[in-house]
């Protein structure tokens, strides 16, 4: 069968691909101007979507235990992040991109993917190698990545920490360890934010990531309410927020793709702020439907996870679903002004190369797990046997590595 796995996930995936193609075509006016070709940005995005669909179709047939190798590959994006600090492509004042063999990509997106697999694997074998040991491995893996990301992309570093925390909480890490981690993260966050407002302005101005973080917090902390139109000034720091709110205000009943007034004015309308363009052009109802689509993904992932008899696929599918859902809600909350700007794209819908392929990989893994669960259920039904209790997981290719580290 060409489309295997959970049918609802497939329907949501294909719907989002179509919506992405239409809205990127509508919102990529600034990219068209830079490229000097009307169709170039849309064709490139269409190519990325088609490549992503092939990735999903390939991954859905892989056995779940094959993904355990991703835990060992966790070291690869860490090495790529190190290279990015030295030879990365600087865009908009930050080195977030790396060009290798003629291909430009974001190592942080690859790192987020392997981070999901790494944490899921550690959670699945902690009964064999003690929880304390696996908890330590998770912290080392996550914070090594965060240390390499934070100076160029604070929002992604925060996102990685929050995601790791959520997956460990769901994975049942002992309360005292989670409490200690919570206090440590809270203290670190308070010290970081406090330092932004106590250090001298000239010192903060030397470091782009500190200046951007402070400006985003200050913009978000401003009193809510309608600004005075005579005194309000659009600056580089509030430009995106201002035009995003204008687009949303125009979207009560929508217009039509390509007719949005802010699609050429709103910076990154085709990427981080595409949700505002969807609301402006397709109405608030469309914005709600998109949000419900991501909620449906979380529900279906939860349903698939509950049917898993083994821990690794259970945590793997949960992690992939969380990565899609949480990133989507962070993006949408930022666009509508409920959350500080985090610079996270809307999964699968925003224009992108690396992010599109990686998001499709999450979908492929989810479909692979759901297919495996369905096959196991069919086999048990045919044999007339009840399903086994939750076990520690399949035999893992990484077991010799962990044994050598004992």
Euclidean distance between CA atoms 137 and 21, whole angstroms: 40
User: Based on the structure, what is the number of domains in the chain?
Assistant: 1
* The length of the chain, given as a count of residues: 406
Whether 47 is covered by a domain: the verdict is yes
Terminal Cα-to-Cα distance of the chain (whole angstroms):
44
Whether 169 is covered by a domain: the verdict is yes
Burial of residue 356 (CB within 10 Å: 0-12, 13-18, 19+) is buried
φ and ψ at residue 96, rounded to 5 degrees: -115, -10
DSSP 54-114: HHHHHHTTS-GGGGGHHHHTTHHHHHHHHHHHHHPEEETTEEEEEEETTEEE-HHHHHHHH
Burial call 64-73: b when 16+ CB within 10 Å, e when fewer = bbebbebbbe
Burial of residue 2 (CB within 10 Å: 0-12, 13-18, 19+) is exposed
pLDDT score at 202: 79
DSSP 149-199: HTTT-HHHHHHHHHHHHHHHHHTT--HHHHHHHHHHHHHHHHHHHHHHTTS
Euclidean distance between CA atoms 138 and 344, whole angstroms: 23
pLDDT score at 361: 96
pLDDT score at 63: 92
Tell how far CA 338 is from the center of its chain: 18
Query: Which residues, at least 6 apart from 83, have a Cβ–Cβ distance to it below 8 Å?
Result: 98, 107
pLDDT score at 355: 92
Whether 2 is covered by a domain: the verdict is no
φ and ψ at residue 23, rounded to 5 degrees: -75, -30
Return the H-helix or E-strand segment holding 227: none
Euclidean distance between CA atoms 222 and 78, whole angstroms: 37
Whether 234 is covered by a domain: the verdict is yes
pLDDT score at 394: 45
Burial call 258-267: b when 16+ CB within 10 Å, e when fewer = eebebbeebe
C-alpha closest to that of 172 among 210, 122, 109? 122
Whether 1 is covered by a domain: the verdict is no
How confident is the model over 208-267, as pLDDT tens digits?
778 888 887 887 777 665 566 656 677 766 777 888 888 888 877 767 777 777 877 887
Per-residue pLDDT of the chain (406 residues; tens, 9 = 90+): 677 888 999 999 999 999 999 999 888 876 776 666 667 888 889 999 999 999 999 999 999 989 988 888 888 999 999 999 888 888 766 788 898 888 888 999 999 999 999 999 999 987 788 888 899 999 999 999 999 998 888 888 999 999 999 999 999 899 999 999 999 999 999 999 888 888 888 788 777 778 888 887 887 777 665 566 656 677 766 777 888 888 888 877 767 777 777 877 887 788 888 999 999 999 899 999 999 999 999 999 999 999 998 999 999 999 999 999 999 999 999 888 888 877 789 999 998 888 999 999 999 999 999 998 887 766 666 666 554 443 334 444 444 444 444 3
Query: Which residues, at least 6 apart from 248, have a Cβ–Cβ distance to it below 8 Å?
Result: 276, 279, 280, 335, 336
Euclidean distance between CA atoms 274 and 286, whole angstroms: 12
How confident is the model over 340-378, as pLDDT tens digits?
877 789 999 998 888 999 999 999 999 999 998 887 766
Residue 196 is part of which domain span?
Answer: 7-404
Whether 53 is covered by a domain: the verdict is yes
Predicted model pTM: 0.88
Whether 141 is covered by a domain: the verdict is yes
Whether 336 is covered by a domain: the verdict is yes
């Amino acid at each position: 069968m060409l489309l295997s796995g959970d049918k609802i996930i497939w329907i949501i995936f294909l719907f989002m691909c179509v919506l992405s193609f239409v809205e990127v075509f509508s919102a990529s006016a600034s990219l068209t101007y830079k490229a000097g070709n009307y169709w170039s940005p849309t064709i490139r995005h269409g190519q990325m979507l088609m490549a992503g669909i092939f990735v999903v179709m390939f991954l859905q047939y892989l056995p779940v235990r094959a993904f355990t190798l991703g835990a060992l590959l966790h070291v690869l994006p860490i090495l790529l992040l190190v290279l990015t600090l030295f030879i990365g492509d600087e865009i908009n004042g930050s080195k977030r991109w790396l060009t290798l063999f003629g291909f430009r990509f974001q190592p942080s997106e690859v790192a987020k993917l392997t981070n999901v697999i790494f944490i899921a694997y550690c959670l699945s074998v902690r009964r064999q190698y003690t929880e304390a040991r696996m908890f330590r491995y998770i912290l080392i893996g996550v914070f090594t990545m965060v240390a390499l990301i934070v100076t160029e992309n604070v929002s992604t570093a925060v996102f990685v920490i929050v995601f790791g925390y959520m997956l460990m909480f769901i994975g049942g890490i002992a309360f005292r360890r989670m409490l200690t981690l919570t206090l440590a993260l809270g203290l670190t966050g308070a010290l970081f934010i406090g330092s932004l407002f106590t250090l001298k302005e000239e010192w903060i101005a030397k470091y782009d990531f500190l200046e951007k973080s402070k400006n985003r917090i200050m913009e978000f902390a401003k009193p809510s309410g309608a600004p005075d139109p005579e005194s309000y000034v659009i600056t580089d720091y509030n430009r995106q927020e201002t035009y995003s709110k204008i687009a949303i205000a125009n979207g009560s009943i929508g217009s039509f793709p390509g007719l949005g007034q802010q699609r050429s004015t709103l910076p990154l309308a085709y990427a981080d702020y595409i949700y505002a363009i969807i609301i402006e052009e397709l109405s608030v109802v469309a914005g709600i439907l998109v949000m419900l689509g991501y909620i449906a993904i979380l529900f279906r992932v939860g349903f698939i996870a509950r049917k898993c008899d083994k821990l690794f696929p259970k945590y793997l599918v949960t992690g992939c679903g969380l990565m899609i859902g949480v990133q989507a809600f962070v993006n949408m909350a930022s666009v509508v002004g409920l959350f500080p700007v985090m610079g996270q794209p809307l999964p699968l819908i925003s224009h992108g190369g690396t992010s599109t392929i990686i998001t499709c990989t999450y979908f492929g893994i989810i479909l692979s797990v759901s297919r495996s669960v369905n096959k196991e259920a069919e086999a048990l039904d045919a044999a007339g046997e009840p399903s086994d209790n939750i076990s520690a997981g399949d035999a893992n290719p990484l077991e010799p590595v962990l044994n050598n580290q004992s």
